[in-house]
Amino acid sequence: MLLDTPMCDFGWQAPGFTLRDPDGKEHSLVDNLGGKGLLIAFICNHCPYVVAIADRLAQDTALLMAEGINIIAIMSNDYRSVPADAPPEMMKFAEAHGFAFPYLVDEDQSVGQSYGAVCTPDFFGFNGQGRLQYRGRLDDAKMGDASKRTPELLNAMRQIAQTGHGPQVQHPSMGCSIKWR
């Protein structure tokens, strides 16, 4: 089912969490919240919307990381009902697309629920104080048409890193519903 994300609730405080990657290494909000901000992307492996943007996401986040902006991806789907999203598959997906950021398993789905994540992809851009400044899409390209795009997420995160505030005009992300238990 195709869903759109809600509009940005500017200033909303990011709830804390500690999650593991598929190798078992722990990552927390506190450890990843940097002075230039943090992007949290709720994604999964099987969603055609995520598959369509995965390479662009890897490219844009590599640029952001080089500029000192931290990135985390979280998979909140119930992978027992969607085996394509299981941790071993997450590792393969991340490697295939060149993800340089931690891709974490939300085993009990509590982080996705506390953030109000509704679809994959769902992007949350926070400033250095953990205050929400962006909730929108990666870009304005149609699925598969990377040649005609405005890098909305890239530009928003750069603005947040420079000013602490996100753009006032934001377009909701859209994608597949998160598969809740």
Model confidence pLDDT, tens digit, residues 106-141: 999 999 999 999 999 999 999 999 999 999 999 875
* DSSP β-bridge partners for residue 108: none
In this prediction, residue 15 has a pLDDT band, given cuts at 50, 70 and 90, of very high
Question: What's the pLDDT score for residue 5?
Answer: 79
Beta strands in the chain (DSSP E): 2-4, 18-20, 26-28, 38-42, 70-75, 103-105, 119-120, 122-126, 132-134, 174-177
* DSSP β-bridge partners for residue 34: 37
CATH of the structural domain 2-177, one choice from 3.40.47.10, 3.30.420.40, 3.40.30.10, 3.40.50.300: 3.40.30.10
Question: What's the pLDDT score for residue 6?
Answer: 81
Rounded Cα distance between 172 and 167, Å, is: 13
Domain residues of the chain, as ranges? 2-177
In this prediction, residue 150 has a pLDDT band, given cuts at 50, 70 and 90, of confident
